[in-house]
Each structure stands twice: as structure tokens, then as C-alpha cells.
């Protein structure tokens, strides 16, 4: 066991394919934006850890989808589909009140096509809750300064995990607006760092947070967006939603 890195998180018997704290934050965001009676679709369901957590939070109308079936949880429905394709046509059915996608979008050839497919599956006003690696957190910035390589998107990550589509927090509101969504919240959190690692790196991240804002904290970027009706206009480039975001990445990394 590493003194500097926390082990893989589990929820009950289910391993979680994300930094510790990721699913807890997603469940918290779902509870803030989705009625308890709403139908929820978890894309990238894997073992069903997030579905189990949402069920324990009181959500009962739960379905899942993934490239192949590993899920051990009971669900209303499950689809095996490739998120690089027209998966909305495969899933079909009545629209969902919420779609969750934990650590999915960074693996995909075309993130915008994925967002458009999600929009097709959501009811107007439905919530999209996604997470992806935060390439702006403090260790990522240090790695980029030293190597010129994005944290989580180097050659090893490309080959072993197919991390191929990094996304900047400042791009998300614009991407979402292009795909029919209104961005509601953007925040960061979750980490593999142990308490000892956080203590040892305190002088670094403390100074960077003071100078650059809270976007440097947390290995994971979270976003909540609402599906607009066809023809409904988003705020210009998602600006008002971005400014209202929890972290308001005002650093201007152009």
C-alpha cells in the first residue's frame, strides 16, 4: 500500500473506476438537480457502483449502458453500445430525466458527438452530469511545465487507458451550448492523494490556489448541464453559467 496514493475506491462490492470521491460528488450533484422519481441513465456503468450509490440515495428508476456488460446491479434496462457511435438510436425509448457519465468523455473520439447523443436521450430540462480528468489541477500544471505533456494524457495513458480527449474547464460551457445544453455548474474535486501527500505538497498547492483559484484543486472536473429544447438559445457561449460555476476558472490560460 502506498503512503502517498489512496487505493482504488469501492462502493459495497463494486470497484470504482475513478478517483476516490468522484461518485460521491456525482450523486450529490444528481440529488441537487434531479427529482427522486426521475429516470436516470448511467453511461459507462462498468460494475454498477454509481448505480448502487444512486439507488441508496433513493433513486429507483435506473438504467445503464457500457461497451460490454460488467454490471452486477439490477437495473431497469442495460445496453451494450459504443459511445463513439449513434448510441441514442440503440437506446431509444422515453426520454430520461438525467444522464450520468463518469470518466467517459476523455476516452472518446468526438466529445461533441457524444454530447449531442446525450441531448437526444434527455427530456427538455433534463440534467447531464459528467466527470473527466482536471488537466488544470496543480500537479497537472507542474507536469506540463516540466515535460510539456498533459497530466493523464501522455503516451502511457493513451496506450493503457485510451485517454485521448482532454477538455479544459473554460471550453465546457461553449461545447455544451453548441450541443444544445445550458451549463449550470462546473466544479472540481476527488483525488488519489493520501493525507500524507496532501500535507507534503501543502506549500505548493496552497500557494497555487491562492494565486490561481480553486480550479487547481482536485483531480476531477465535474459539470452539470440542462438539455434545452430545440431552437432554445443558450446564453452567449455559456458565459453566465460559467461565471456562476462553483470554481469560475478566471485564470485565462490562453
Parent domain of 120:
10-134+163-192+217-244
Per residue in 217-237, pLDDT tens?
999 999 999 999 876 655 544
DSSP secondary structure, 42-62, as one string: EET-TTSHHHHHHHHTT---E
Say if residue 246's pLDDT is above 90: no
Per residue in 125-152, pLDDT tens?
999 999 999 999 999 999 999 999 999 9
DSSP secondary structure, 4-22, as one string: SBPPPPEETTEE-SS-TTH
Asked, for residue 52, whether it belongs to a domain, the answer is yes
Per residue in 61-99, pLDDT tens?
999 999 999 997 889 999 999 999 999 999 998 999 999
| CATH number of 222's domain | 3.40.50.150
Mean pLDDT of 201-206: 96
Asked, for residue 206, whether it belongs to a domain, the answer is no
Asked, for residue 129, whether it belongs to a domain, the answer is yes
Burial of 233 (C-beta count, 10 Å sphere; 0-12/13-18/19+): exposed
Q: What is the pLDDT of residue 232?
A: 67
Please tell me the pTM assigned to this model. 0.90
| Mean pLDDT across the chain | 91
Asked, for residue 63, whether it belongs to a domain, the answer is yes
Asked, for residue 46, whether it belongs to a domain, the answer is yes
Asked, for residue 143, whether it belongs to a domain, the answer is no
Alpha helical stretches, state H, the chain: 22-33, 49-56, 87-91, 111-121, 138-147, 155-161, 172-178, 195-200, 202-212, 239-244
Per residue in 18-30, pLDDT tens?
999 999 999 999 9
Asked, for residue 233, whether it belongs to a domain, the answer is yes
Asked, for residue 153, whether it belongs to a domain, the answer is no
Q: Report the number of distinct structural domains present in the chain.
A: 1
Amino acid at each position: 500500500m502506498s503512503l502517498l496514493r489512496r487505493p482504488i475506491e469501492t462502493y459495497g462490492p463494486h470497484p470504482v473506476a475513478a478517483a476516490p470521491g468522484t461518485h460521491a460528488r456525482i450523486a450529490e450533484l444528481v440529488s441537487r438537480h434531479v427529482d427522486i422519481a426521475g429516470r436516470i441513465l448511467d453511461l459507462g456503468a462498468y460494475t454498477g457502483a454509481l448505480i448502487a450509490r444512486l439507488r441508496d440515495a433513493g433513486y429507483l428508476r435506473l438504467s445503464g449502458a457500457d461497451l460490454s456488460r460488467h454490471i452486477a446491479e439490477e437495473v431497469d434496462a442495460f445496453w451494450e453500445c459504443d459511445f463513439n457511435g449513434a448510441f441514442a438510436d440503440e437506446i431509444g425509448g422515453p426520454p430520461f430525466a438525467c444522464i450520468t457519465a463518469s470518466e467517459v468523455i476523455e476516452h472518446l473520439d468526438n466529445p461533441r458527438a457524444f454530447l449531442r447523443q446525450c441531448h437526444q436521450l434527455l427530456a427538455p430540462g433534463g440534467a447531464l452530469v459528467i466527470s473527466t480528468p482536471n488537466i488544470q489541477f496543480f500537479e497537472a500544471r507542474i507536469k506540463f511545465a516540466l515535460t510539456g505533456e498533459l497530466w493523464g494524457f501522455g503516451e502511457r495513458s493513451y496506450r493503457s487507458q485510451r485517454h485521448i480527449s482532454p477538455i479544459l474547464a473554460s471550453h465546457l460551457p461553449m461545447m455544451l451550448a453548441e450541443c444544445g445544453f445550458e451549463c449550470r455548474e462546473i466544479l472540481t474535486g476527488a483525488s488519489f492523494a493520501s493525507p500524507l501527500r496532501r500535507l507534503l505538497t501543502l506549500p505548493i498547492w496552497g500557494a497555487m490556489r491562492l494565486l490561481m483559484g480553486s480550479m487547481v484543486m482536485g483531480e476531477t472536473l465535474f459539470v452539470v448541464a440542462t438539455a434545452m429544447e430545440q431552437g432554445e438559445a443558450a446564453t452567449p457561449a455559456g458565459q453566465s453559467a460559467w461565471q456562476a460555476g462553483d470554481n469560475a476558472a478566471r485564470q485565462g490560460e490562453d
